[in-house]
Chain A
Amino acid sequence: MPVDKDTMIEAIDVNKEYRRAGAIIRALADINLTIKSGEFILVQGPTGCGKSTLLNVLSGIDLPDSGKIIFDGENIARAQEARLSKLRRQKIGFVFQDFNLIPTLTAIENVAALLWPTVLREKEIENRAIAALRDVNLLERKDHYPVELSGGEKQRCGLARAIIHRPRVILADEPTGNLDPESEKQVMDLLKQINKDMETTIIVVTHRGSLASYANKIVKMDKGAIISIK
């Protein structure tokens, strides 16, 4: 399939339905979206409009009922779980609303954990984790457990984990949903800086209109459909 070399992710006629309490909910309805390499995209819409489902299918965490997801030239809509795991490890970084740090690991170990199942040497993994923590200004907290970090620090640790393997794309689901305004600004500034310095494609799902200034493309959704792309 011919794909524009600048195209990072392409969703073609993507549909997804859920069954809940006997009713069929159309989470994604004929989604067509092209995301170019290096873009900073904000996906906005009311609760339940399908924006998180879109993020999930774009990353291969969830599979669409129909349609194609072309990720860096490869259709992942029907890929096997092992292939999707490899893709996520190599090309995708995740930032979660609830941080999802492992409570029994320190900040540096949480960051390094992504690379534990790789062939990289322990020292190399440690150096990369230190560099990632330095990038998010959290190096002085490297030996702290998640419970000892503030919300903003936890999210920066999550951000360091998302960049340790230099992914092509970072997907963030409401990354500032649990943060105060100051931490929100820090996290969004860092995402913007990563987007600029590493040319990483960033896709942020949020319901906050105040973050619009960070994006160079805003995708608005409602009832499972894209209603505008600006």
Chain B
Amino acid sequence: MAFRIFKKSVMMVLREKKQFTVFCLMYTILIFWTSYSIELVLKTSLYLWNASFFMALAVGIFLSLLYSWIIVRRNSRTIATLKCIGWTNSDINSLITGFILFTTFIGFFIVIEVLFHYAAFFGYIYATNPAVFGTPYYIENLPLVSLLPVFVTFIIFLFFQILAILLANRKILKVRPIVALKRVGV
């Protein structure tokens, strides 16, 4: 039953194309940024990368909470309608949890894909255009992000999503079914 609701939430979130694409891309950039910062914190002792790491975390937590807030706010009438037709708070929580987790998972998988290809991409560009980019020095120094920082980042982001889900659950409880009976625009 919960799995069915999760499946439906995936279907619904994919149909919210604009919102899904924007947040998925933002998560992708953030996960990449955080992983990259962790990799460089481990390899170098530059304070710059520590600052970058913490900045990525701050933006990550802000974005996760913002996404859950937007989802509940945009869907408050749907949530109220579902309550009217007999969905429990727990059913609705499963739906919203599906929205949030699926977007993060897709962001994570895109990051894995990007990590496989970005070094090759830049290597190719640099190597084929030595006149523009100079010596192969850049290729040799291009940091390859190992999977450990990516998984650490993923765990961190999963924790953020748990906070986001808790926030969403609190907001869902506050949506009263009576909202569904109010006239649109009144």
Binding site for B on A (CB under 8 A): 52, 55-56, 61-62, 81-82, 85-90, 92, 94, 96-98, 100, 102, 104-105, 113-114, 116-119, 122, 161, 173
B88 touching A96, Cβ below 8 Å: no
- What's the least CB distance linking A124 to chain B, in Å? 12
Are B4's CB and A61's CB within 8 A?
Answer: no
Task: Please give me the residue from chain A that is nearest to B181 by CB atom.
Answer: A173
Shortest distance in angstroms between A112's beta carbon and chain B's nearest beta carbon?
Answer: 9
Q: A85, A96, A105: which contacts B83 (Cβ < 8 A)?
A: A85
With A116-B8, A122-B4 as contacts: A98 and B184 at CB distance below 8 Å: yes
In the complex, which residue of chain B has the Cβ closest to the Cβ of A112?
Answer: B8
- Contact between B86 and A85, CB atoms less than 8 A apart: yes
Which residue on chain A has the smallest CB distance to residue B185?
A98
Docked-complex contact A104 and B86, CB < 8 angstroms: no
Q: How many whole Å from B133's CB to the nearest CB in chain A?
A: 46
Interface string of B83-98 (1 = CB under 8 A from A): 1111111010000000
Interface pair A88/B86, CB less than 8 Å apart: yes
Residue of B5, B12, B85 touching A161 (CB-CB under 8 A): B85
Complex A-B: 9 CB contacts under 8 Å:
A82-B88, A85-B88, A96-B180, A96-B181, A104-B16, A116-B8, A116-B91, A117-B4, A117-B87
Closest to B84 in A: A94
Chain A proximity of B15: nearest CB distance (Å) = 4
Query: Which residues of B sit under 8 angstroms from A104, Cβ to Cβ?
Result: 12, 15-16
Q: How far is the CA of A92 from the CA of B83 in the complex (A)?
A: 12
Residues of A with C-beta under 8 A to B5: 116-117
Is B177 in contact with chain A by the CB < 8 A criterion?
A: yes
Alpha-carbon distance between A90 and B12 when the two chains are bound, in angstroms: 25
Asked whether A114 lies within 8 Å of B181 as measured between CB atoms, the reply is no
| Total A-B contacts with CB atoms under 8 angstroms apart | 72
Residues of A within 8 A of B178 (CB): 56, 61-62
Task: Return the chain B residue nearest A122 by Cβ.
Answer: B4
- Give me 15 other A-B pairs in contact (C-beta within 8 A), A96-B181, A100-B81, A105-B12 excluded: A61-B178, A61-B181, A81-B89, A85-B83, A88-B84, A88-B85, A89-B85, A96-B180, A98-B184, A100-B77, A102-B12, A104-B15, A104-B16, A114-B85, A117-B4
Q: What is the chain B residue whose CB lies nearest that of A94? A: B84
Known: A100-B77, A105-B12. A117 touches B91 (CB 8 A): yes
B95 to chain A, nearest CB (A): 9
Contact indicator B88/A117 (Cβ below 8 Å): yes
B174 within 8 A of A: no
Q: How far is the CB of B122 from chain A (nearest CB, A)?
A: 38
Can you name the residue of chain B whose Cβ is closest to the Cβ of A83? B88
> Would you call A61 and B177 a contact (CB within 8 A)?
yes
Q: Is B183 an interface residue (CB 8 A)?
A: yes
In the complex, B1 has a CB within 8 A of chain A = yes
Asked if A116 and B86 sit within 8 Å, CB to CB, the answer is no
Contacts of A100 in B (CB 8 A): 77, 81, 84, 180
Q: What is the bound-complex CA distance between A96 and B183, given in angstroms?
A: 9
What 9 pairs between A and B have smallest CB-CB spacing? A89-B86, A88-B86, A117-B91, A104-B15, A100-B81, A85-B88, A104-B12, A98-B184, A61-B177
B82 at the interface (CB under 8 A from A): yes
Chain B residue with minimal CB distance to A102?
Answer: B78
